Amino acid sequence: MNTTAVLLAQPERLHLAELQLTEPTAEDVVVDVHWSGISTGTERLLFTGRMPMFPGMGYPLVPGYESVGRVIAAGDASGHLVGQQVFVPGANCFGPLDGQPVRGLFGGSASRLVVPGRRVIPVDEALGETAVLLALAATAYHAVSGGGRIEHPKAPQLIVGHGVLGRLLARLNVAAGCRDTVVWETNPVRAAGAQGYTVLHPDADARRNYDVICDVSGDADLLDTLIARLAPGGEIILAGFYSQPLHFNFAPAFMREARLRAAAEWQRPDLLAVQALIANGLLTLDGLITHHAPFAQADTAYRTAFGDVACLKMVLDWTH
């Protein structure tokens, strides 16, 4: 089988390519992708070449970890049925191109995928294209819950950044009954859209006793500013993705006995938890997808997603 995939040949060079798919095993499913989201965090770093090195990194690569589609073939040991709509958090199923290996990092932006059944998760048909947001919702949930490693996690009172992840964090706070959540946003274009919380420019916020601050900005130079806003014993959750080393002055952190916690990648229980919140009407994904493009316009779509501040989430349509 072949697939049409978004291929990032090297930084700033993106095009569509016909790639061969690996042969599915009894534990795999074959998924025809309907929609895939473009991440303005990790995928932007891949696009610009600023992604820190880690296992699996290299070009050429197929990006994408926010895909939704339908199972068209299911192995006997896959645990899934043909016809299911599923969320696919990426794949690594591509053969070489012109003798060069193609990396699946994260491998979800393609018309068809071969994926181990244990990795895909059935999703409600009613979600439609908004199901691409489940990865970010699970990321937000993992950040505030501590992945089950924290006995009594506190909700962040201050969230830094009003992109999709920041909005989902704030919506989770509202779902949990928090009524005093503040979100910092410096760009007036992104300040609108609050649902049950307050969006402020940092200069308009006089508070300096936040117990928990969650940063999703990805700004490696922001720690001193955030530490100055902490209450004694306060915590900063690092939920963005940082391409540069983080740094801060020790004395202010020492005086506040500040705690720093890095939020890792979401896990399957996080995604199941946000699915339950959505099903019970406590969390909505509405209003977060702002831009669409047919997959044939992938290059323009990626550049819009990374360059247009009004673009919260760009979705590629693979249905035609």
CA atoms within 13 A on the CB side of 153: 20
Say if residue 39 is in the same domain as residue 152: no
Is 87 within the bounds of a domain? yes
What's residue 165's pLDDT? 97
What's residue 226's pLDDT? 98
More confident residue, 258 or 242: 258
Total domain count, the chain: 2
CB atoms within 10 A of CB 77: 12
Quickly list DSSP for 241-273: --SS-----HHHHHHHT-EEEE-----HHHHHH
Label the pairing between strands 61-62 and 182-184: unpaired
C-alpha dihedral, 115 to 68 to 219 to 194, nearest 10°: -160
Say if residue 142 is in the same domain as residue 258: yes
Range of the domain at 169: 136-262
Say if residue 104 is in the same domain as residue 146: no
- Domain containing residue 206: CATH number: 3.40.50.720
Say if residue 144 is in the same domain as residue 255: yes
pLDDT reading at 105 higher than 90: no
What would the pLDDT profile of 255-311 be if each residue is shown by its tens digit? Answer: 999 999 999 889 999 999 999 999 999 999 999 999 999 999 999 999 999 999 999
Inter-residue contact 299 to 316 (CB < 8 Å): no
pTM score: 0.95
Say if residue 20 is in the same domain as residue 81: yes
Say if residue 309 is in the same domain as residue 249: no
Helix, strand, coil fractions of the chain, as percent rounded to 5: 25, 30, 45
Is 166 within the bounds of a domain? yes
Say if residue 171 is in the same domain as residue 237: yes
Q: Dihedral of CA 109/115/121/126: which sign? A: positive
Is 131 within the bounds of a domain? no
Q: What is the Cα–Cα distance from 293 to 301, expressed in whole angstroms?
A: 6
Say if residue 87 is in the same domain as residue 144: no
User: Where a domain ends, among 262, 277, 301?
Assistant: 262
- Domain containing residue 74: CATH number: 3.90.180.10
Q: What is the Cα–Cα distance from 279 to 125, expressed in whole angstroms?
A: 12
What would the pLDDT profile of 8-55 be if each residue is shown by its tens digit? Answer: 999 999 999 999 999 999 999 999 999 999 999 889 999 999 888 777
Q: What is the Cα–Cα distance from 272 to 252, expressed in whole angstroms?
A: 39
Say if residue 51 is in the same domain as residue 107: yes
Is 38 within the bounds of a domain? yes
pLDDT reading at 58 higher than 90: no
Is 206 within the bounds of a domain? yes
Say if residue 92 is in the same domain as residue 140: no
Say if residue 83 is in the same domain as residue 150: no
List the one residue out of 273, 312, 310 whose CA is nearest residue 289. 312
Q: What is the Cα–Cα distance from 262 to 239, expressed in whole angstroms?
A: 6
pLDDT band for position 152 (cuts 50, 70, 90): confident
Say if residue 102 is in the same domain as residue 149: no
How deeply is 82 buried, as exposed, middle or buried, from its count of CB atoms within 10 A (0-12, 13-18, 19+)?
exposed
Is 273 within the bounds of a domain? no
What would the pLDDT profile of 189-215 be if each residue is shown by its tens digit? Answer: 999 999 999 999 999 999 999 999 999
The per-type count for the chain, helices as H runs and strands as E runs, is 7, 17
